[in-house]
Chain A
């Protein structure tokens, strides 16, 4: 008990330091619930919803990996407030310094918690294309977040990466090495995965969706190629960007690969016979409708995105 109390005091102190003078009037931060899916790998389950006031932007899986000397955070959630709750969850588990914050890609539900970690001294890690994507999209994403969440978006902002990865990199946490891979355009054109060799856990970011309809915002062909390559990784389990906190590897890829390849085949056929986006919207992907959550709007968007990629083949 004594140890637990000291951890909580330490957490309280850390939050005081983080929040500054205003902390006295701020309500205590409620730590995000996390599950230890493998020794040292902790995941918080994001809701299968769109960003809305009720969820505060807590719609993506986020988490952290604890080494012997330091901690790495993998994605920070959809607002500074979610990021602060993730930080509180980390401080319940360990007092070790946070050495890295990895952003698996540019999407708002994965990066807007970054602001909560700026004071931690962590280095922010992103794909070599992330700064460009933040430049093109950050202002819009932030404006949308503020419009959608109102006060709950407070403190959220775009944080530039300190370390960018063009191909591969390793991150050392002391007795624990993380392998970071930068992928060619797939889910987005700035996807990173993190492989925790010690536990055999692959953090796939949004290269893997389970249950929630996959969102194509990079390249459909690129994503299918990435899935083929990912399959060869000798992981034991995977943390998807959306879906259960842990899933068996590589079987977890099958549903997504099936949806994406069927969508590609159907749209290619429509393009080959001189069809239009409007025609593709009526039929493409519809056979998968019952298998996925939040299907209609996401699939429609995917059809438009995929069509405008595949018509250049």
Chain B
């Protein structure tokens, strides 16, 4: 899979070390400031212009998160994926998180529509951004402000035994709602604690080690549909809703790699046609 943008993720990891040293006691900002983005932008996109005009991408996120560790986010594409013009990459950024880049989605025209939904951790009041890059290299950004506290440092796993017993299990579920003519929509669910490594044991003063999903590859038929680079800002049990354009192939296969070099694979029958 592509490693090109992972350098962007890894360049940001020194930020993680700093956050670890400061610990979870950092007081959340009262309002999202743009300073973080001012620093992040050149690291991620250099001097390239980024359009904030609507028409290519929009973002849906709750203004106040119900659970800071599981904040549902929808990135909505306003243009269809065609071989001539399509969204090639979507970078999901949470400005105030210790690791701001939550995920980088590498997309093909075969997904039909680059509308994606996932669940993220939000560590403090923060802007959340989706930056879409079209195949001609143009960048478009949509931003939403989310009020949340402690999504990365706080409790995530509710039932730790169940979570560990299920580690690496995957599901691919057809979604019946939100039909787009000619397309199908599915949800990929990966059981993984996606530990942030930011929780310090108050008694031993050791950090609970990070353990998170780094790469997801989705093949439809025999060809790549989408790859995703992940990091600790994705919620435990990473979930991605996405479309695909049925072309007669009837299987989807997923390979997941994590930060401890574990690999998980799954394969499922899927609808081969768009139905009625």
Stretch at the interface among B11-19, B83-91, B100-108, B166-174: B166-174
Q: Are B66 and A281 in contact (CB under 8 A)?
A: yes
Interface residues of A in 273-307 (CB under 8 A from B): 273-279, 281, 297, 300-301, 303-305
Given contacts A139-B23, A147-B27, A188-B158, contact A131 B117 (CB under 8 A): no
Kindly identify which residue among B117, B149, B153, B201 contacts A276, using a CB–CB cutoff of 8 Å: B117
Interface residues of B in 159-178 (CB under 8 A from A): 159-162, 166, 169, 171, 173-177
Chain A, residue nearest B70 (CB): A304
- B8 on interface, CB distance cutoff 8 Å: no
Interface residues of A in 216-239 (CB under 8 A from B): 216-219, 222
Known: A142-B202, A309-B158; 12 extra A-B contacts, CB below 8 A, are: A136-B155, A136-B208, A138-B201, A144-B149, A157-B202, A158-B203, A189-B158, A216-B158, A273-B177, A277-B72, A277-B119, A309-B162
**In whole angstroms, what is the CA distance A301 to B157 when docked?**
14
10 contacts between A and B (CB under 8 A): A135-B208, A140-B155, A158-B203, A218-B158, A274-B175, A276-B117, A276-B177, A301-B67, A309-B162, A311-B171
Q: Are B204 and A135 in contact (CB under 8 A)?
A: yes
Q: How far is the CB of A281 from chain B (nearest CB, A)?
A: 7
Kindly identify which residue among B27, B66, B155 contacts A303, using a CB–CB cutoff of 8 Å: B66
**In whole angstroms, what is the CA distance A10 to B162 when docked?**
49
- A257 on interface, CB distance cutoff 8 Å: no
With most chain A CB atoms within 10 A of its CB, the pick from B159, B162, B174 is B159
CB-CB under 8 A from B154, the residues of chain A are 137, 140
Given contacts A139-B24, A142-B202, contact A189 B66 (CB under 8 A): no
- A201 on interface, CB distance cutoff 8 Å: no
Produce 1/0 per residue, A135-166, CB < 8 A to B. 11111101110110000000001101000000
Counting chain B residues whose Cβ lies within 8 A of the other chain, the interface size class is 35 or more
Q: Are A218 and B159 in contact (CB under 8 A)?
A: yes
- B215 on interface, CB distance cutoff 8 Å: no
CB-CB under 8 A from A131, the residues of chain B are 203
Q: Are A139 and B158 in contact (CB under 8 A)?
A: no
- B36 on interface, CB distance cutoff 8 Å: no
Q: Are B203 and A135 in contact (CB under 8 A)?
A: yes
Produce 1/0 per residue, B75-111, CB < 8 A to A. 0000000000000000000000000000000000000
Kindly identify which residue among B66, B117, B149, B199 contacts A137, using a CB–CB cutoff of 8 Å: B199
Counting chain A residues whose Cβ lies within 8 A of the other chain, the interface size class is 35 or more
Q: Are B171 and A312 in contact (CB under 8 A)?
A: yes
Q: Are A189 and B23 in contact (CB under 8 A)?
A: no
- B267 on interface, CB distance cutoff 8 Å: no
- B255 on interface, CB distance cutoff 8 Å: no
CB-CB under 8 A from A136, the residues of chain B are 155-157, 160, 199, 201, 208
- A134 on interface, CB distance cutoff 8 Å: yes
CB-CB under 8 A from A219, the residues of chain B are 158-159, 162
* Complex A-B, nearest 10 residue pairs according to Cβ-Cβ distance, in ascending order: A274-B176, A135-B201, A138-B202, A185-B159, A300-B66, A158-B202, A143-B25, A137-B155, A274-B175, A140-B154
CB-CB under 8 A from A276, the residues of chain B are 72, 117, 175, 177, 241
CB-CB under 8 A from A278, the residues of chain B are 72, 74
**In whole angstroms, what is the CA distance A309 to B237 when docked?**
10
Given contacts A274-B174, A308-B237, contact A143 B24 (CB under 8 A): yes
**In whole angstroms, what is the CA distance A148 to B172 when docked?**
41
**In whole angstroms, what is the CA distance A37 to B1 when docked?**
65
- A129 on interface, CB distance cutoff 8 Å: yes
Given contacts A140-B199, A301-B66, A308-B70, contact A129 B160 (CB under 8 A): yes
